[in-house]
Chain A
């Protein structure tokens, strides 16, 4: 007869401190379950975490594949988060007035050694425009806008427009030649809005007798710029829209978008 011997694995100091840590009241108050290595805990980790519960617990294999999703929607969301973060940091150093706007940006460049916040914000914004386009492209190519996802496609289109507007409003803020002329070219279009622009077709019809209702100081462009040219009013308006107005709207729409992805049956796949 051979004697059976039970060998208790020896715990190193690392395991011992890990075991101690995960048994503390603090740890247990944060994480309600053990490491997600069993099926049960894989369910729990998604269900009990507010961020992870954007996801379902399980999803179709093709929906995880990069070759199907290109990860463009996820990257758009991530870029939005990183833009919010860098944007808030930039707001500490930037004042949207004619007096300070340009010099504050110069200050950011000259006085912050190795500073890359403005770069990350600018390139991140460009990248987000591209990822949002490519996300739309992927959703179209997989036919994922088809019923029951029509409404979510529409939410997406609105967010695409908002992404462009966010980028557009931010373009003015450095208050350099590049900024003001790009916005001048862009906002001159509003002057030609049918009926509501001072040089748009039909604007002359909107008049009470001899009094023109639509003129250069009361038209779509004026509403956009807060003035008849790209000046102080435009800078403030674009700043408020860029930092508060548009991000709030797009954040709400993102919530709707993610919610509807789940409610419309999760990531699309063949029926």
Chain B
């Protein structure tokens, strides 16, 4: 039993957890024919039911997962997995129809039906079911109420509401001005920009994967792999002092994790060149700034001439520039995570003089 728990605790390590979700994502896209079979879909749900059901026998697991405010996230895990599987399944089925030269399913069902009764009754049934779920949920689970607010007693860990825990998790890798302000703004702007960047006329109004490979892969990566899985990670696996804890691990407040994070400038000037840090911030951070400019300015140009040439030509300069900028910003999170895990890198550019750390 303990061996199984240790096994799952091992996977809860942020590095392993993230690599696992990433692998799952790649496998899902690559072997989507297998992923979308009912057997895999049911299998995943059964696995989750078993995992959560049996896990609840463990005291530490129960403390976290059965916390009233965390219950919606358990629901989210099931729902998101199901709907990812379900939408990909319909996409794959439609793709097969397209391959055979048949119209997609939504095209076949093009004839009109009456709103009354067809739609009105569907809505009524959904509404009744939703009410039942909500009422039962409300009867079974009391809303949490802790001790009265006390500004002098900081709980450890202090967590934001669950839907913002992805952002709070980003705080580990970025400073608040990026993780809390700039990147969330870019998420909103990026979502709003989607219809204006995506000029692909195909795949409008029906499920398909093969006609929109890049769009769907990027969206699922951002929504499921980054946003949702970081919420799960931040909720269930982050304990006191924002340390990592396996799902079956006791939240020991004295758990120590060595923090030996080093800035890029320190790597270069102290370890590379072997002199002290220059006092002028520009000289000190010169390499970091160059690296940053390479990433934001030079890389899009290189990509436009190389790998993404077809995209550049299809989209045109303005769309390409906005799109690639947003895409690189999204990728900056997993890249910074990797840099932290592999090199203990803290900041690429660190100018605390202006609160400007990246």
Please, which residue of chain A has its CB at the minimum distance from the CB of B224? A137
List the count of A-B residue pairs having beta carbons below 8 Å apart.
274
Please, which residue of chain B has its CB at the minimum distance from the CB of A140? B219
Question: Is A95 interfacial (CB-CB < 8 Å)?
Answer: no
Question: Is B205 interfacial (CB-CB < 8 Å)?
Answer: yes
Would you call B145 and A109 a contact (CB within 8 A)?
A: yes
* Cα of A65 to Cα of B160 in the assembled complex, Å: 37
Would you call B176 and A120 a contact (CB within 8 A)?
A: no
B window 85-129: CB within 8 A of A: 86-87, 90-91, 103-107, 109-120, 122-123, 126-127
A window 186-208: CB within 8 A of B: 186, 188-194, 197, 199-204
Please, which residue of chain B has its CB at the minimum distance from the CB of A109? B145
A window 140-193: CB within 8 A of B: 140-147, 149-150, 153-154, 157, 160-161, 164, 167-168, 171, 174-182, 184-186, 188-193
Chain B residue numbers with a CB within 8 Å of A185 are: 158-160, 168
Would you call A58 and B354 a contact (CB within 8 A)?
A: no
Would you call A179 and B195 a contact (CB within 8 A)?
A: no
* Cα of A109 to Cα of B105 in the assembled complex, Å: 50
Chain A residue numbers with a CB within 8 Å of B113 are: 58-61, 64
Would you call B177 and A60 a contact (CB within 8 A)?
A: no
- Interface size of B as a range: 35 or more
Would you call A176 and B146 a contact (CB within 8 A)?
A: yes
* Cα of A52 to Cα of B87 in the assembled complex, Å: 29
* Cα of A153 to Cα of B202 in the assembled complex, Å: 17
Chain B residue numbers with a CB within 8 Å of A61 are: 109-113
Would you call B149 and A269 a contact (CB within 8 A)?
A: no
Contact for B180 among A64, A145, A189, CB less than 8 A: A189
Please, which residue of chain A has its CB at the minimum distance from the CB of B180? A189
Chain A residue numbers with a CB within 8 Å of B134 are: 79, 82, 120, 123-124, 127
Further contacts, 10 of them, CB under 8 A, given A62-B110, A119-B137: A60-B113, A116-B139, A137-B84, A140-B219, A141-B91, A142-B207, A176-B148, A182-B161, A189-B179, A192-B180
Chain A interfacial positions (CB closer than 8 Å to B): 36, 39, 42, 45-46, 52, 55-68, 70-71, 74-75, 78-79, 82, 102, 105-106, 109, 116, 118-124, 126-127, 129-130, 133-134, 136-138, 140-147, 149-150, 153-154, 157, 160-161, 164, 167-168, 171, 174-182, 184-186, 188-194, 197, 199-204, 229-231, 268-271
Chain B interfacial positions (CB closer than 8 Å to A): 69, 72, 75-76, 79-80, 83-84, 86-87, 90-91, 103-107, 109-120, 122-123, 126-127, 130-131, 134-135, 137-139, 141-151, 153-155, 158-164, 167-168, 175-177, 179-182, 188, 191-192, 194-196, 198, 200-208, 212, 216, 219, 223, 354-356
Q: Can you give 8 A-B contacts (C-beta < 8 A)?
A: A46-B116, A67-B90, A70-B83, A109-B145, A143-B208, A177-B148, A192-B181, A270-B205
